[in-house]
Chains A and B, each alone.
Chain A
Amino acid sequence: MRCAGLLVTEEPQAPSEGPPVTTRRTRRWPFRLNRPSLGESKVAYLFLTPWFLGLLLITLGPILASAYLSFTDYSLIGAPEWIGGDNYERMLSDPRFFQALKVTFTYVFVSVPLQLAFALVLALVLDKGVRGLAFYRSAYYLPSLLGASVAVAILWRQIFGSNGLINTALGSIGIEGLPGWVSTPDYALGTLIVLNVWTFGAPMVIFLAGLRQIPRMYYEAAAVDGAGRFRQFFTITLPLLSPIIFFNLVLQTISAFQTFTQSFIVSGGTGGPADSTLFYTLYLYQRGFGNFDMGYASALAWVLLLIVGGLTAVNFLASKYWVFYGDD
């Protein structure tokens, strides 16, 4: 619930990236901008202080160093040597860079929508007041906590292996001779997508909180007017939930781009079979630590930052057309 509240106050940042010209926004925008009093912003900054300190003391140095290193030939062992934009140029003729992009984009564009859809459907079901809600909420949330862990990745490798749970189960109903899912290039990425979808708990909890904030009277009024379930969903629930959907979309997209552990463990660090699970971050790691190519790895990191930043910007721009902040 706090998430949803926080989101609404955060929202005015968004239009600052583009000219505030669209319809609903413009009416609300100047009004909102003047709202927070001095005291309120002080409190906000106070809450942000730990994050700023972390950034300044821990993250900022390495970020700047990697920006510099991305223009060098740096083996980790010797001193970095300035080579200008060569690392960035090299990517254009690096087939594994493109393979890593392909794998990562496929993963993001397939698994994030699926995961959010799954989370939304379950949130809707749970919101209808299931008995033992607290239990279900925790049970469904659990995979989110475990999803990125080494243990689950190992479990996944077993379940989807040649003689794993899935093939054994299929074998018992007469479907035999199937290959290992994690060890066949055509399916390996699919198993990791399933793993990501399985961790729908975190967005689900946020959806639940968002659903709780929608005033019941809207539904009552709609019911009086004769709107059915579907009509209510599309004209009330979805628009009023759109800021939450947007929030989840941005967050899950960014985290999907950063996926590392799953492919590292499932493929034994190789990104295999046949580079089919060569995630961008895994490739970056291989170059930097496996192949003494930290300069190139740094350049890869910056390109990833640009890609994620660019997509997030597109998300924010597109949000004008579908995210509804419920002023009237």
Chain B
Amino acid sequence: MLKINNLHANINGKEILKGINLEIKAGEVHAIMGPNGSGKSTLASVIAGKEDFEVTEGSVELNGEDLSEFAPEVRAHKGVFLSFQYPIEIPGVTVTNFIKTAINETRKAKGMGELPAKELLQMIREKADLLEIDRKFLSRSLNEGFSGGEKKRNEIFQMAMLEPQLAILDETDSGLDIDALKVVANGVNKLKSEKNAVLLITHYQRLLDYIVPDFVHVLYNGKIVKSGGKELAYELEEKGYDWLK
């Protein structure tokens, strides 16, 4: 599904990603771990199409199609979803209106009509229940005054609504207490299927107790220095990152 070939990326002339190779197949869960500043979030942003980064070499392909020329919204329409480490507050736009706009724009891009309000409402209720989100929460301004946990839960709620092929969860566990983490992980697990894939980006092995990865990759200084199964995460937890340098 996702194929990253020798990806190099710069920001303000400084090289952050120095040749990443990664392949993710449908139905798989991959985790990328690594110390601060290793390029984890940059990788997530580059896949999603953030324009601050300049791709100098290599490619990102989704289902055989090179994404490099596509704007972030087009990538989203093609099935890429990025859950932000720090979701942006947008006062004045309610969660519901935001998600409605996102869904209908995606449908428009696919040549489909707007989702009828009744179906949308039903879907909103279903997914909100899945993530144990209070209905009142949905008429609040997007992320404004949300706690860290609420913001992350809201990200996964949007993911549930948009049903992406590839979900990239950037530090979704940070700022979550253990109960919220369980709810979020449970949501992600329920949304998993043979047709989609998940890329988890995390510092800690904690999240991986709840969302079990098929593969774990260690990113260090802009490169994947080691890949393995889920047991690699435990090894990292025990030994830290120093032994890989």
Q: Do A and B bind each other?
A: no
Which B positions have Cβ atoms within 8 angstroms of A? none
Which A positions have Cβ atoms within 8 angstroms of B? none
